Each structure stands twice: as C-alpha cells, then as structure tokens.
Chain A
Amino acid sequence: MKPTTTAEATRRPPTRGPRISEQVSAAPIAATAVSMAILIAGCTAPQETAPPQPLSTESTGTGSTVTETAAPQPPTQATAGPVPAPAIPVRPATPQAQTPKDPAPRFLTVAGTTINMPIVEVGVSPDGAMEIPEPFNEAGWYRFGPAPGAAAGTAVVAAHVDTTSDTAPFSQLKSLEPGTLVTVQREGAAPVTFRVTGVELMAKDAFDGASIFRRDGPPELKLVTCGGRWLDEQQDYGDNVIVTAVPA
C-alpha cells in the first residue's frame, strides 16, 4: 500500500463547500431586499452630475460557503481492508486555533482630496445597519468582512457625509475620478494602495448589501457614504455613494 502524497490529499476537499451557498442564501437575500424596499419607500432622485450606474442585481460571492475551518488532513491510512476508502477530510474535532487575521486598517488617504483620516473598527448597530463612527473625521472599517489588502472579498470603509452643519470629508467621494489613488495604512504591515475604478450611486430603497459586503471573489476596497438628495421626511439621504477601488 503506497501512502498518498500530501499534495494529492490536500487538493481535494475545498471545492465542495461553495456549492451549497447560492441555495442557502438566495431566498434570504431576496426577502431582505423586499423588506428594505417596504421600509424605506419614497426615496427621491439624487442630484448628482455623474451619470448613475445601474444597480448590480448580482449577489456574486455573497453566498454562504459551508466549509469546515480546519485545513483538511489526509485521511487515515489503513494497512488492510479490501475496499478502498474514498478521500474524505478527517480532523480531530478539537477547538480550532483562530486563523490569523489580516492586518487591520488604521489610516485612510485619498489623493487629491482632504480625506486623510484614521480608520476605526466597527460592526453592526442594533438595527442591523453597519456602524459608522460618530466623529466626522473618522472612518469605520467593517471588521467582520475582509480587511484592505486581504486576498479576497471587499473591504468596506464608511464614514459620514456631513456634520450637523457642514460637509464631512467623505462628501468628496462622489467626485472621485477613476484612477485616483487610495492609500490605507495598516496595523503592523506595509500600506496598501488602491486605484479607484468607479463611483456608484445606490438608492437606499434598493440597497444591495450583498454587492457591497462580499467575502470572496476579487479583492476590492469599497468606500461608502451617503449622497444624493436629503429626504426631510426620512431624515436621510436618498442614496449611498459607493467608491470601488482595486489593488493598484
């Protein structure tokens, strides 16, 4: 009986996981979109000079991947047994060590603007929305998603567009030109630089979180704030401004 090689053994398992994803996630996403539309109806048109872009209806990469955390190990080799065992990942079911996290972002600079601000880590508000730092000159990184510089997925950094009386630095996002360089300094790691590829307006009554918060697929940085027209009745803007940038 020849032992299997490590290379062969470790190549197999990962393809299984993602298949279940779309199935699991499609219905909840659709339901969320519908309920959002009901809750936040009546969004007015934005007053942007940039041509609006169609909303992506794809939910690429947001699907659940049902996988085990452990790196699959080569199956146990038996020395006897007439029937070959198929290759199935087997691991000790002990608590797994935390996989090392990517370095957290600490500071954001956008060339040609006054955006030059610290980044703090944020999560989710009680109402289910992303937390935004209170100070107008601080940006929040969604710590449950990928970090800037991660190998896959979108790193989401958001900040207020205004203060109680004036505009905030992120109000400049809507005017960013493609090619603008964005630099993110990181905790204990070299800075990473991104290049803006586009600015998108997404109506809040058609908020597609799956397209912004993506944990796999190509690495991108998403800078997000509010924009469009202020809606007095909702005390909110009609749109989100979403800047997409790719590793430079």
Chain B
Amino acid sequence: MRTSLFTAGAVAIAAALTLAGPARAAESDAQLSVLHGVPGLTVDVWVNGERTLDDFAPGTLAGPLALPAGDYDLAITAADAADASAPVIGPVKVTLAASGNYTAVANLDAAGAPTANFFTNDVSQIDPGKGKLTVRHTAAAPAVDVLAGGTPVISGLANPNEETLTLDPGTLSVAVAAAGTTAPVIGPADVTVAEGTHTVVYAWGSLADNNLAVAVQNIEGLHSAPAGVPGARSGAADGTASAGQTAATVGIGAAVLLLLAGGVAVSRKQPALRRTR
C-alpha cells in the first residue's frame, strides 16, 4: 500500500497531505520543510490529522513539501501513534501563504521543554556574487554569539530568534558560544555559503544534556544575474572609427550632433517613433 503510493509522485503526495483545497500541486504552492530538533525522541509528524512523516528522527530535515496556501494543523506524536489525538508537541496551526517558503521546527525551548517553531524562509533573490546565511537558535541554551573564524558575527541571539547575514560565498568555520564569550559550545564546524543560496543553520539540542548540534538547510536557486558586462576601456573599437581614440572621439562628437539634429526632426514628425537599431 505504501509502495504504490510512492510511485504516484508529487500529485499523490499533495493529495494525501491536503484535506481542504485543490489536490494538484500548483505554481502558487507553498513549500514546507520540517526539521526535527528534539534529541532522543523519534516521532511521527501529522498534517491536518494525516500522518505525514513516519519515524522522523532527531537531526533530520524533511521536505520541502508543496502545499496549497492555507491553514494547516501540525502535530507531533510519539512514533507510530495510532492517530494525532495525543501529540507531544502541538497541535499548532500554521498559515502558508501562496509561494511562501517555511520551515517548521520541533525543538526545545530555552528551558528545555519540547515545542515547535515556525519560520518563514527568505527566498528573495540574492545579489549576484553573494550568499545568505541565517542562524536560528532552537536549542535549550541561553543566548549565544555566533563566531565565524573566531570572530563574532552575530551577538546575543536567543531561542527562538534568528539572524541573517549576506556574505561573500565561501566556507566558514562557524562556532557557537555563550553570549559574550568565545569558547565554543558548538563547533567549530565548516559551513559553506554558496553563491545564490540561502543557507540556514539551526543550533539545536540541549546545553545541559551536552548534546548541542547544528543542522543545516540549503535553499538554492536564489541567484540573480550581474547588472552588466562592462567590456569597454577606451572606445578604440568603436564601430564608426578605427584610427584610434582621438579620431573616434572626434567622430563621435560629430555623430552625436548629427543625431541630435536628426532626433529633433524626427520627433516633430512622429513623437512616438523609436530609434531602430
């Protein structure tokens, strides 16, 4: 039964997940990922009362699922519970906007109690040549500083907050330390920030239980094109002059005058006429 569902693909997935709304995946679908950040607890994840993730293990990331915009009930139960009536986390109601991108996280709050957090992922285009790094504090730990190469880049980040940096692409040696200190409680670990990719790093686990860890989610394809290709230096390759810069400059000066005169004449006759090339 399960096997046959697997072969049916995304449409069946959406149908199985969706009790209300159209069953077909659409361009306006929201994207939902789910991260399990509660140590030592294998769970099932339920969406609108349907078991969606079975035997979901700590430190794993599921998705993204394409879901039509709307409200959803998320609940987390012990693994293989018969239904969602006795959740260990939730149920929480989340609202997915059309084309939105979200990560629901099951994690510990600062005091160590299981909870859920719902983050909206920034999937706006990133400037060419840059990458984004977001750090989310989802661990049972006090406020932290995030260090890159030993230098604090984020200060005083508390559960369940997040902070985003736009960076040159590269691999960072990232460590997490108690706020105001530099002695790592997590890491250092290599985190790659790729061009056009939004990398989301989660600090999860428990400081008291000595099982703090990082989880990484990458959202790719947010690149944008450079604003131009400036291959010019002097005008020496101008189409109208080949005898060097001086000639080119003089020639262009005359040409500009001609164009100005021509432009005036043309604009009188037909204001809407566009210069053709």
Q: Is the CB of B219 within 8 A of A84?
A: no
Q: Is the CB of B214 within 8 A of A66?
A: no
Q: Is the CB of B5 within 8 A of A87?
A: yes
Q: What residues of chain B lie closer than 8 Å to A189, measured between beta carbons?
A: none
> In the complex, A93 Cα to B130 Cα: how many Å?
23
> In the complex, A64 Cα to B259 Cα: how many Å?
41
Interface code A147-174, partner B: CB below 8 Å = 1, 0 otherwise? 0000000001011111111111011000
Q: Is the CB of A162 within 8 A of B218?
A: no
Q: What residues of chain B lie closer than 8 Å to A127, measured between beta carbons?
A: 227
Interface code B11-42, partner A: CB below 8 Å = 1, 0 otherwise? 01100110000000111110101010000000
Interface code A218-247, partner B: CB below 8 Å = 1, 0 otherwise? 000000111111111001110010000000
Q: What residues of chain B lie closer than 8 Å to A227, measured between beta carbons?
A: 237, 239
Q: Is the CB of A209 within 8 A of B44?
A: no
| Contacts known (A167-B236, A209-B225); A85 close to B220, Cβ less than 8 A | no
State which residues 1-50 of A face B: CB under 8 Å.
1-4, 8-9, 11-13, 15-25, 28-29, 32, 36, 44-48
Q: Is the CB of A215 within 8 A of B223?
A: yes
With beta carbons under 8 angstroms apart, the residue of A4, A62, A70, A98 that contacts B192 is A98
Q: What residues of chain A lie closer than 8 Å to B129, measured between beta carbons?
A: 123-124, 144
Q: Is the CB of B232 within 8 A of A236?
A: yes
State which residues 210-254 of B face A: CB under 8 Å.
214-242, 244-245, 248-249, 252-253
> In the complex, A84 Cα to B17 Cα: how many Å?
11
Q: What residues of chain A lie closer than 8 Å to B276, measured between beta carbons?
A: 45
State which residues 157-214 of A face B: CB under 8 Å.
158-168, 170-171, 201, 203-204, 207, 209-210, 212-213
Q: Is the CB of B244 within 8 A of A166?
A: yes
Q: Is the CB of B128 within 8 A of A128?
A: yes
> In the complex, A89 Cα to B197 Cα: how many Å?
19
Q: Is the CB of B13 within 8 A of A23?
A: no
> In the complex, A201 Cα to B222 Cα: how many Å?
27
> In the complex, A210 Cα to B125 Cα: how many Å?
12
B84 and chain A: residue at smallest CB distance: A83
Closest-CB distance, B218 to chain A (whole angstroms): 4
> In the complex, A156 Cα to B13 Cα: how many Å?
38
Q: What residues of chain A lie closer than 8 Å to B60, measured between beta carbons?
A: 90-93
Q: Is the CB of A224 within 8 A of B231?
A: yes
Q: What residues of chain B lie closer than 8 Å to A68, measured between beta carbons?
A: 33, 61, 63-64, 217-220
| Contacts known (A20-B31, A83-B51); A162 close to B239, Cβ less than 8 A | no
| Contacts known (A124-B129, A224-B229); A66 close to B123, Cβ less than 8 A | yes
Q: Is the CB of B228 within 8 A of A129?
A: yes
Q: What residues of chain A lie closer than 8 Å to B162, measured between beta carbons?
A: none
Indicate if A100 sits at the interface (CB-CB under 8 A): no
Q: What is the predominant secondary structure among interface residues of chain A facing chain B?
A: loop
Q: Is the CB of A16 within 8 A of B31?
A: yes
Q: What residues of chain A lie closer than 8 Å to B113, measured between beta carbons?
A: none
Q: Interface residues of A, CB < 8 Å — how many?
A: 108
Q: Is the CB of A81 within 8 A of B44?
A: yes
Closest-CB distance, A64 to chain B (whole angstroms): 4
With beta carbons under 8 angstroms apart, the residue of B56, B125, B195, B230 that contacts A236 is B230
Q: Is the CB of A229 within 8 A of B236?
A: no
Closest-CB distance, A243 to chain B (whole angstroms): 12
With beta carbons under 8 angstroms apart, the residue of B61, B218, B227, B238 that contacts A32 is B227
> In the complex, A127 Cα to B123 Cα: how many Å?
23
> In the complex, A208 Cα to B50 Cα: how many Å?
46
A residues apposed to B, CB below 8 Å: 1-4, 8-9, 11-13, 15-25, 28-29, 32, 36, 44-48, 52, 62-70, 75-78, 80-96, 98, 123-125, 127-130, 132, 136, 142, 144, 156, 158-168, 170-171, 201, 203-204, 207, 209-210, 212-213, 215, 224-232, 235-237, 240
- 18 A-B pairs whose Cβ atoms sit less than 8 Å apart in the complex: A12-B13, A20-B27, A28-B124, A36-B228, A46-B239, A47-B239, A65-B220, A66-B101, A68-B220, A88-B65, A93-B216, A124-B129, A124-B226, A132-B230, A144-B223, A158-B229, A166-B236, A226-B232
